[in-house]
């Protein structure tokens, strides 16, 4: 009897322990679900981050862009060449680093006033920027600043490599049965999100190792383009420097130091002065540096300010501009500031010998009416795929058949931006490859308000003159 009572008590104790552990496990699962749910909700809230972006972009009249240099002949002209980052995507024009740099160079009344012109196109790589480079040189600048992001090394002609490597960036999806079994769980959703982020990070690092392989066509074409730009500037007596930009969405445990090191070594050997902004950004919070945290890695207003200030100090420290541009009013001594500027460059450069040229704002390009034939197009994305953006431009390629009115473009092929999505709704472009269309076009550069829009670009359009077809 006592033995049976002992066994019963032992069994009861076992059940109690099992219930306790079950309760602990259930509580842990519940807590995990709550925490994971809140984490996911916080992440999803980034979708609302675009709400702090302005709904309407304003642009200043061309005649008021460079007030400090209007009517002045002794002008410091700086040309910035880059992509959508340089244009200031999703920020007002006066917040972008180009206009900010101009204001910094015009702090003092003594030295020649500065004019900073930005020549940029969304999606342009270094090798595909030669048209921007030529356009900048037509204005006879004193200094060319070439902005280089890590993906500017891409050789867009080598589509097979890029497609193969980019396909590997996307992590493999979990088995369908696992999704069916655990799809209800927020903990599972959080774990999958963390796994995908980790796997994607590893794959992106591998992608950039491919791009920066010295034997690849990507690295060879990039270095050849830099050499050509350098030689052209030397022949024309124009100073040139490169600014290296790290990707804002990868600043935490930054994985691309190898790429910056390779770029620095190359620029040193190629005799090209450079400013690497990695040190300026690697300790920053990515959420504050991105224009839409977690969604869009273009620079925020804060990041643009950092870039402008860093370039300003670099130009003084490397000797591109004289000490006369050192701010006369600041809370640190002039000596300390110059020392800080000099720490940004391992080389010194002879101050720029200014060319005499009147600072006249560029004329507004004339509109053109062309009969064209569509030769290449891209598919319009689904509105939900571009969130948090609500509008998108699609860029097609056309062959010119006839000039209806206005000055004809220099080339027989052009790229034209059409609205594909407006205010969350798909817009029917209504164009078929091989068909002819007459369009009234305006130069895209005359619509800076469009630079902040989401763009889907046909690859062959990147090297062509860009126009805009207004439907209004």
* 97 shares its domain with 234: yes
Same domain, 283 and 324: yes
> Which pLDDT does position 358 carry in this prediction?
47
- pLDDT recorded at residue 172: 66
Both 276 and 150 in a single domain? Answer: yes
**347 inside domain:** no
233: which 2 tokens? 């500037």
- Helix, strand, coil distribution of the chain in percent, nearest 5: 45, 20, 35
CATH number of the domain within which 136 lies: 3.40.50.1110
Structural domain includes residue 290: yes
pLDDT along the chain (472 residues), means of 10: 55 62 62 56 55 73 85 92 90 93 95 94 85 91 96 87 78 68 66 66 86 93 94 94 92 91 94 94 90 85 96 94 92 89 69 52 61 90 79 89 59 87 86 90 78 77 82 58
Same domain, 98 and 163: no
Cα distance between residue 335 and residue 81, in whole Å: 32
Cis peptide before 386 (omega within 30 of 0): no
- Whole-angstrom CA distances from 222 to 130, 141, 199, 226, 274 are 12, 23, 28, 6, 15
Asked if 329 and 419 sit in the same domain, the reply is no
Q: Is 408 domain-assigned?
A: yes
Q: What does the alpha-carbon distance between residue 303 and residue 288 come to, in Å, rounded to a whole number?
A: 8
pLDDT of residue 130: 85
On whether residue 349 sits in a domain, the answer given is: no
Q: Look at residue 424 and tell me if it is in a domain.
A: yes
Structural domain range at position 10: 2-52
Q: Is residue 31 domain-shared with residue 170, that is, in the same domain?
A: no
Residues 239 and 387 grouped into a single domain? no
C-beta separation of 255 from 302 below 8 A: no
In this structure, are 220 and 119 located in the same domain? yes
* pLDDT (0 to 100) of residue 413: 87
* CATH number of the structural domain spanning residue 435: 2.40.50
Residue pLDDT, tens place only, 55-111: 777 788 878 888 888 888 899 999 999 998 998 888 888 899 999 999 999 999 989
- 3-class DSSP state of 345: coil
In this structure, are 89 and 181 located in the same domain? no
Q: What is the secondary structure of 207-271 as a DSSP string?
A: HHHHHT-TTSHHHHHHHHHHHHHHHHHHHHT-EEEEEEE--GGG-TT---HHHHHHHHHHHHHTT
- Residue length, the chain? 472
Q: What local confidence, expressed as pLDDT, does residue 307 receive?
A: 97
Residue 355 lies in a domain: no
Q: How far apart are CA 225 and CA 246, in angstroms?
A: 20
Quick one: 28 and 122 in the same domain?
A: no
Predicted confidence at residue 140, as pLDDT, reads 92
Q: Is residue 295 part of a domain?
A: yes
**Per-residue pLDDT tens digits for 443-457:** 887 776 676 677 888
Domain match, 432 and 317 both: no
Residue 357 located in a structural domain: no
In the prediction, which pLDDT does 313 show? 96
Q: Are residues 271 and 136 in the same domain?
A: yes
pLDDT at position 350: 54
Query: 275-305 pLDDT, tens per residue?
Result: 999 999 988 988 899 988 877 889 999 999 9
- Residues 318, 322, 323, 329, Cα dihedral to 10°: -110
Q: What is the pLDDT of residue 10?
A: 59
Count structural domains, the chain. Answer: 4
Q: How far is CA 181 from the centre of its chain?
A: 40
Question: Degrees (nearest 5) of the Cα angle 393, 399, 403?
Answer: 100
């Amino acid at each position: 009897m006592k033995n049976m009572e002992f066994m019963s008590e032992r069994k009861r104790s076992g059940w109690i322990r099992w219930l306790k552990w079950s309760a602990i496990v259930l509580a842990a699962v519940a807590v995990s679900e709550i925490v994971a749910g809140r984490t996911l909700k916080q992440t999803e809230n980034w979708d609302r981050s675009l709400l702090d972006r302005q709904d309407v972009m304003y642009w200043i009249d061309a005649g008021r862009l460079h007030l400090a240099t209007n009517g002045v002949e002794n002008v410091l002209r700086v040309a910035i060449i880059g992509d959508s980052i340089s244009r200031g995507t999703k920020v007002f024009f006066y917040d972008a680093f180009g206009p900010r740099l101009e204001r910094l160079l015009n702090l003092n009344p003594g030295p020649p006033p500065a004019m900073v012109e930005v020549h940029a196109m969304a999606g342009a790589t270094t090798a595909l920027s030669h048209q921007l480079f030529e356009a900048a040189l037509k204005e006879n600048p004193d200094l060319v600043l070439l902005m280089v992001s890590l993906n500017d090394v891409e050789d867009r002609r080598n589509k097979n490599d890029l497609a193969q490597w980019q396909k590997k960036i996307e992590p493999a999806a979990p088995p369908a049965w696992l999704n069916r079994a655990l799809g209800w769980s927020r903990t599972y959703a959080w774990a999958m999100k963390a796994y995908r982020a980790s796997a994607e990070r590893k794959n992106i690092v591998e992608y950039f190792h491919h791009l920066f392989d010295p034997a690849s066509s990507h690295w060879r074409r990039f270095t050849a383009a830099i050499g050509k730009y350098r030689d052209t500037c030397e022949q024309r007596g124009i100073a040139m420097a490169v600014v290296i930009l790290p990707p804002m969405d990868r600043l935490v445990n930054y994985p691309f130091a190898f790429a910056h090191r390779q770029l620095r070594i190359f620029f040193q050997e190629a005799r090209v002065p450079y400013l690497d902004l990695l040190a300026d950004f690697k300790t920053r919070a990515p959420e504050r540096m991105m224009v839409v945290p977690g969604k869009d890695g273009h620079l925020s207003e804060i990041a643009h300010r950092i870039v402008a200030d860093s370039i300003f100090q670099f130009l003084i420290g490397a000797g591109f501009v004289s000490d006369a541009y050192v701010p006369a009013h600041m809370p640190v001594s002039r000596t300390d500031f110059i020392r800080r500027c000099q720490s940004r460059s391992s080389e010194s450069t002879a101050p720029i010998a200014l060319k005499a040229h009147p600072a006249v704002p560029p004329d507004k390009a004339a509109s053109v009416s062309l009969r064209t034939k569509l030769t290449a197009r891209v598919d319009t994305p689904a509105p939900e795929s571009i969130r948090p953006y609500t509008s998108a431009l699609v860029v097609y390629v056309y062959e010119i058949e006839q000039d209806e009115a206005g000055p004809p473009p220099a080339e027989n092929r052009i790229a034209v931006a059409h609205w594909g999505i407006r205010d969350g709704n798909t817009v029917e472009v209504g164009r078929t490859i091989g068909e002819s269309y007459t369009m009234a076009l305006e130069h895209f550069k005359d619509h800076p308000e469009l630079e902040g829009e989401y763009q889907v670009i046909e690859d062959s359009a990147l090297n062509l003159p860009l126009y805009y077809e207004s439907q209004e």
